[in-house]
Amino acid sequence: MKKWMKAVKEKSMYTMVMTKSALRNRRGEGFIDTAVKILIGVVIGALILGGLYVLFSTTILPTLNQRIIDMFNYKR
């Protein structure tokens, strides 16, 4: 029984120390930072893709364009 009580006490002390250190930690990145980075990446990717379409002023993937037209052609 003494071994068990000692193990429980050590485990609770370890948990308490880890919790305190996690709460005192002021560094690291949060969820908002990560979300902003992802959003910036998506926006920059969309701008680059849009710029490529404007630069070439044609359809970059003509087979894809034809497949989409065929897929939504309900007259057949």
Residue 74 has a pLDDT of 74
| CA atoms 62, 46, 51, 54: torsion sign | positive
Per-residue pLDDT tens digits for 20-32 = 888 887 776 677 8
Residue 23 has a pLDDT of 83
Residue 43 has a pLDDT of 95
Residues (pLDDT < 70) of the chain are: 28-29, 58-60, 76
Residue 59 has a pLDDT of 64
Entry pTM: 0.42
Domain locations in the chain as residue ranges: 2-71
Distance of CA 2 to the CA centre of its chain: 48
